[in-house]
Amino acid sequence: MTVNVLGQRLPAAATYVAALAAAFALLVVTVAGALWQTNQGVELNAAVRESIAHRSSLRLLMRGMQDSETSQRGYLLTGDEDYLAPYFSGRADIDRELANLERFAGDDPAHAAEVRRLRELVSAKRDELQQTIDLRRAGRGNVAMEIVRSNRGKEVMDEFRTLITTAEAREQTIVIESMAAVDRSAQRLRFVVLVAGMLLLGIGALLVVTVRNAMSELRASRDDARSAHERVLQEMGAREQAESKVRQMQKMEAIGQLTGGVAHDFNNMLAVIISALQLAQRRMARGETDIDRFIEAAMDGARRAATLTSRLLAFARRQPLQPQVIDPNRVVGGMSDLLRRTLGESISLEVVLGGGVWRAHCDQNELENAILNVCVNARDAMPGGGKLTIETANAHLDAAYAAANAEVTPGQHVLIAITDTGEGMPADVRARVFEPFFTTKEVGKGTGLGLAHVHGFLKQSGGHVAIYSEVGVGTTVKLYLPRTQMEENTADAPQRAAGELPVGDAGTIILVVEDEERVRNLSVASLRELGYTVVHASSGEEALRKLEAKPAVTLMFTDIVMPGMSGRRLSDEAKAKYPELKVLYTTGYTQNAIVHNGVVDADARLLTKPYSIDDLARKVRAVLDE
């Protein structure tokens, strides 16, 4: 087959190949040139951004020094400590900008020397400011003013301003030159694209001429293909819309189920709490003292609400975990008596502990709760009695199993398998058992959060849960935890509080830091009830002042999430001044400074909200006794 090219008949295949080869070569050259020009532009833009950031740091540093000087002048003139707030709060900003300037200087000797000189001037000016402030505080304001009038500080600031102005001018020049270079690079890129476009148009025109004679034969088939393509696109669009609607409906159904379950359970608990407290209030108003059962009912409702919140956090993988190295055999063996009392006499419990079972790294309390949840579900599945078997063993999850199960990491795992001889579950129920508030139990006999809690805890711990069930035969729930090579430290095992509640003594001073007034007042009252001497503050800044006024504080009990200074920052600053100070954190929000990826920092002691006075007493005593 031949084609007519500029009046000559040439082989069609060879002509097409030559045209495509030329177009491909041109494309390669064009892309390479464009990439080179783009890289040049990116580098120049990066230089401009860095220079602008450098100038910003210079200006912020200048402003911080000026604010400090103004703050000092105001204090010297008035003696009002409030004038010093910008002076103290701006120190961290000045140090940060100096650090940024050192980073910008990099290996440039001149820039590094400039930053060193700036740091020396800042230090000299700070010494002068602090000296005059200290003299004013000591009642020697006239001496402080003499230092100010000596112009020593003015000379330092004049040199400081000169250095800042010089550096800003240099960076401005760099920005102007870099932007000019960016413009030149853009012009070169436009030239390359223009030439490439013209060449491609030429090749395109040649191809149009080449295929002109063949268009009449291909037009019919092209039209048919276009029609078919449009029909396919329409069908794909309709299918995508239908799938989107289905996904939205499923999402709304899940949200509705979750919201409805939370509202239902919380409303029930709030109804119990409100009714019980109102009844107690009415009886106390009449002078009656028989209100213990109402208070206990309110406490039970509050505890149930706290448990519900904990399970929701576990399902969402947001609960703060305190993992440790555990021996699964010891954990399961230690729960045997508790499980037998929980299951009742109609359930026969058999515990089979495997030999040489590996260690795991997880939160022991949450693991025990997970095992207990599964066992309670198994008990409810055997209303007429039956047998429950708990086994421990080593297991290996291979790559094929991991590929077939989302979020499973292949490798060595510790297995805890719980098997019952109950009613079993059909496939549709088994597919939904981990959904929050999904339950097949009668109203009032289950929240539907037990297995959701188990699933969330294991996923947050890097593990996996699998369920195998057959109707009329029974169910097996397998809990997998990754193996750890770390050694178990039995001294870290959680101690079960028993006996009398630990109390404090008036010689132990505790500082309570909480921005929420009602929570702060109750925490203070609880600690005083336990016998401690308590001082309190509503912010991190106030807490530092209280520590300075009363350095004999033994323990600081602080919220983490507070406006302004966080609990973590407060702890760092306080312990820098008072290394022997012990810190106990509390929070109701887990995405914060001491919880990372759901795990509490090893050096942090945390009491999560809500907590009872018993929890507070034991946690405070544990931290004090460390």
Q: What is the CATH number for 75? A: 1.20.120.30
Q: Is 466 or 499 the better-scoring residue by pLDDT?
A: 466
Residue 66 lies in a domain: yes
Residue 293 lies in a domain: no
∠524-527-531 over CA atoms, to 5°?
130
Same structural domain for residues 404 and 442? yes
Last residue of a domain, one of 156, 178, 210: 210
DSSP structural state of residue 301: H
pLDDT at 441: 60
Same structural domain for residues 177 and 104? yes
Residues with Cβ within 8 Å of 328's Cβ and at least 6 positions away in sequence, in order, are: 357, 358, 359, 360, 392, 414, 416, 481
Same structural domain for residues 360 and 470? yes
Question: What is the tens place of the pLDDT at every residue in 267-311?
Answer: 666 777 777 787 788 778 888 877 887 788 777 777 766 666 655
Same structural domain for residues 29 and 156? yes
Residue 507 has pLDDT above 70, yes or no: yes
Residue 382 lies in a domain: yes
| Most confident of the following: 226-230, 362-366, 556-560 | 556-560
Residue 57 has pLDDT above 50, yes or no: yes
Q: How confident is the model at residue 542 (pLDDT cuts 50, 70, 90)?
A: very high
Least confident of 145-149, 255-259, 427-431, 485-489: 255-259
- Report yes or no: 389 and 353 within 8 Å, Cβ to Cβ: no
Residue 257 lies in a domain: no
CA distance 347 to 430: 23
CA distance 142 to 79: 12
CA distance 332 to 416: 9
Tell me the residue range of the domain where 473 lies.
325-492
CA distance 141 to 154: 19
Instruction: Tell me the average pLDDT across 366-375.
Output: 86
Q: Pairing mode, if any, of strands 582-587 and 606-608?
A: parallel
CA distance 88 to 260: 50
Same structural domain for residues 488 and 597? no
Q: Is 542 or 462 the better-scoring residue by pLDDT?
A: 542
Q: Whose CA is closest to 297, among 279, 276, 267? A: 276
Same structural domain for residues 470 and 520? no
Same structural domain for residues 569 and 459? no
Question: What is the tens place of the pLDDT at every residue in 77-108?
Answer: 888 888 888 888 888 888 888 888 888 888 88
pLDDT at 620: 92
Residue 285 has which token pair?
């108003």
Q: Please state the domain count of the chain.
A: 3
- Report yes or no: 98 and 122 within 8 Å, Cβ to Cβ: yes
Same structural domain for residues 488 and 536? no
Instruction: Tell me the average pLDDT across 408-422.
Output: 91
pLDDT at 600: 47
CATH number at residue 379: 3.30.565.10
Instruction: Tell me the average pLDDT across 541-548.
Output: 93
pLDDT at 146: 85
pLDDT at 537: 94
Q: Is 506 exposed, middle or buried (0-12, 13-18, 19+ CB in 10 A)?
A: exposed
Question: What is the tens place of the pLDDT at every residue in 386-407?
Answer: 999 999 999 998 888 888 887 7
Residue 229 lies in a domain: no
Same structural domain for residues 32 and 126? yes
Question: What is the tens place of the pLDDT at every residue in 107-146?
Answer: 888 888 888 888 888 888 888 888 888 888 888 888 888 8
pLDDT at 309: 64
For all residues of the chain together, what is the average pLDDT? 80
Residue 58 has which token pair?
């210079």
- Report yes or no: 290 and 271 within 8 Å, Cβ to Cβ: no
Q: Is 390 exposed, middle or buried (0-12, 13-18, 19+ CB in 10 A)?
A: buried
Same structural domain for residues 467 and 529? no
Last residue of a domain, one of 464, 492, 520: 492
Instruction: Tell me the average pLDDT across 329-335.
Output: 88
Residue 415 lies in a domain: yes
The beta-strand segments (E) located in 455-605 are 464-470, 474-482, 509-513, 533-537, 555-559, 582-587, 595-596, 599-600
Same structural domain for residues 539 and 435? no
Q: How confident is the model at residue 317 (pLDDT cuts 50, 70, 90)?
A: very low
Percent of the chain predicted with pLDDT > 70: 82
- Report yes or no: 480 and 414 within 8 Å, Cβ to Cβ: yes
Residue 545 has pLDDT above 90, yes or no: yes
CA distance 309 to 311: 5
Residue 223 lies in a domain: no
pLDDT at 496: 42
What is the distance of C-alpha 99 from the center of its chain?
A: 27
CATH number at residue 531: 3.40.50.2300
Residues with Cβ within 8 Å of 149's Cβ and at least 6 positions away in sequence, in order, are: none
Instruction: Tell me the average pLDDT across 251-269.
Output: 58
Q: Is 247 or 146 the better-scoring residue by pLDDT?
A: 146
Q: Which long-range contacts (CB under 8 A, 24 or more apart) does 587-591 make?
A: 587/559, 587/560, 587/561, 589/560, 589/561, 590/313, 590/318, 590/319, 590/320, 591/318
pLDDT at 264: 57
Residue 414 has pLDDT above 70, yes or no: yes
Same structural domain for residues 516 and 473? no
Q: How confident is the model at residue 214 (pLDDT cuts 50, 70, 90)?
A: low
Residue 256 has pLDDT above 90, yes or no: no
Percent of the chain predicted with pLDDT > 90: 15
pLDDT at 251: 55
Question: What is the tens place of the pLDDT at every residue in 187-210?
Answer: 877 887 788 778 778 777 766 766
65-83: b or e for each residue (b if 16 or more CB lie within 10 Å)? bebbbebbebbbeeeeeeb
pLDDT at 493: 44
DSSP-based three-state secondary structure for 187: helix
Last residue of a domain, one of 428, 461, 492: 492
Residue 606 lies in a domain: yes
Sign of CA dihedral 424, 430, 436, 440: negative
Least confident of 112-126, 172-186, 372-386, 572-586: 172-186
